[in-house]
Amino acid sequence: MTPTVSASGLGLRYGGTRALDDVSLRLTPGVTGLIGPNGAGKTTLLRVLATAVPADTGAFTVLGHDPATSAGRQDVRRRLGYLPQTPGFHPDFTSFEFVDYVAILKELTDRGARHREVRRVLEEVDLGDVRGKRIKKLSGGMRQRVALAAALVGDPGFLVLDEPTVGLDPEQRMRFRELIAQAGEGRTVLLSTHQTEDVAMLCHRVLVMAGGRIRFDGTPAELTERAAGRVWSSAERDPGAKAGWRTGTGTFRNVGTPPAGADLLEPTLEDGYLLTLDDAGAEVAA
Ligand SMILES: Nc1ncnc2c1ncn2[C@@H]1O[C@H](COP(=O)(O)OP(=O)(O)OP(=O)(O)O)[C@@H](O)[C@H]1O
């Protein structure tokens, strides 16, 4: 399958900080999760791919367009939707006015067609009924849906979502997950998140980032598999474990290298993620 996004050797430094270090990836339709600790470089990678900031080194294409030239950048921007970490809402705008404003920036110049598109995307995120309400009167979950609607204007082939479920309660998060899954049907979505459940429930593929580098690139099942044989239960916290905690049943759940004969447990994606970070830490320290 021809990838929607193809990147090789992306690098970016902020002074002495290497925010991106030789990042190469290929993204295909469906939802790809991007997880990593604070400061891993996730937002920087999304901003580069969304053409909000240029990389110092490397190159990438989106749907065959190369943003290295200003014409190519414009082609990429016409085909992408970006939900940044902090969407710049004007609180006095209504949802309709905000999405319409974004649609103008996206060069939808015909007023009638633009308004139809704004209504369509607001319906798509289930906000058709409140489109005349001021954004400051909406709940956090609804605001995130307004931001998603704005990103969906023009039916982009590549959708970049930067931690869209942060700060949402479980019900709102679930609702938002449904919308992301819907948006990922036939479209390439790159979703940055701190929620391993988002990845387990939504993504066909997951990238783990740490220290500006991709440390894992595979399916959620493969990430979970990394922890097979490395999670075990014990009556007391195992001193050899990387992490261990008393569970609700009173026994300890340990993650790391088990002693011989340990009572092994089924791993989760989060276990695979923690061990991947731990292995990456060891590599950096070596
Ligand atoms: N504008 C900037 N100026 C200087 N340093 C920056 C800037 N933006 C990011 N950084 C640094 O680059 C590194 C990567 O940051 P980035 O925001 O991409 O990480 P992240 O994985 O998105 O983190 P988080 O999960 O906290 O959002 C960090 O060390 C950060 O402090």
Question: What is the pLDDT confidence band of residue 169, given thresholds at 50, 70 and 90?
Answer: confident
Mean pLDDT over 152-162 rounds to 96
Give 218-235 pLDDT, tens digit per residue. Answer: 999 999 999 999 999 999
Give 47-79 pLDDT, tens digit per residue. Answer: 999 999 999 999 999 999 999 999 999 999 989
Contact 27, 47 (CB under 8 A): no
Q: Which residues 6+ apart lie within 8 Å of 260 measured at CB?
A: none
Residue in 10, 12, 13, 14 to alter for ligand 1 test, most ligand atoms within 8 A of Cβ: 14
- The three-state (H, E, C) secondary structure of 85-116, written as one string: CCCCCCCCCEHHHHHHHHHHHCCCCCHHHHHH
Query: For residues 78 and 152, what is the distance between their CA atoms, to the nearest angstrom?
Result: 11
| CA 41–ligand 1 middle distance (angstroms) | 6
| CA 12–ligand 1 middle distance (angstroms) | 11
Give 186-200 pLDDT, tens digit per residue. Answer: 999 999 999 999 999
Query: Distance between the two ends of the chain, CA-based, in angstroms?
Result: 37
Query: For residues 118 and 111, what is the distance between their CA atoms, to the nearest angstrom?
Result: 10
Sign of the torsion angle spanned by Cα atoms 104, 108, 113, 116: negative
Domains by residue range for the chain, with CATH: 5-219 (3.40.50.300), 224-285 (no CATH)
Pocket of ligand 1 (CB under 6 A): 14, 17, 19, 36, 38-44
The tokens describing 239, both together, are 């001193």
Q: Is the pLDDT of residue 165 over 70?
A: yes
User: What pLDDT does 286 receive?
Assistant: 40
Averaged pLDDT of the chain? 92
Q: Whose CA is nearest to atom 28 of ligand 1?
A: 39
| CA 192–ligand 1 middle distance (angstroms) | 13
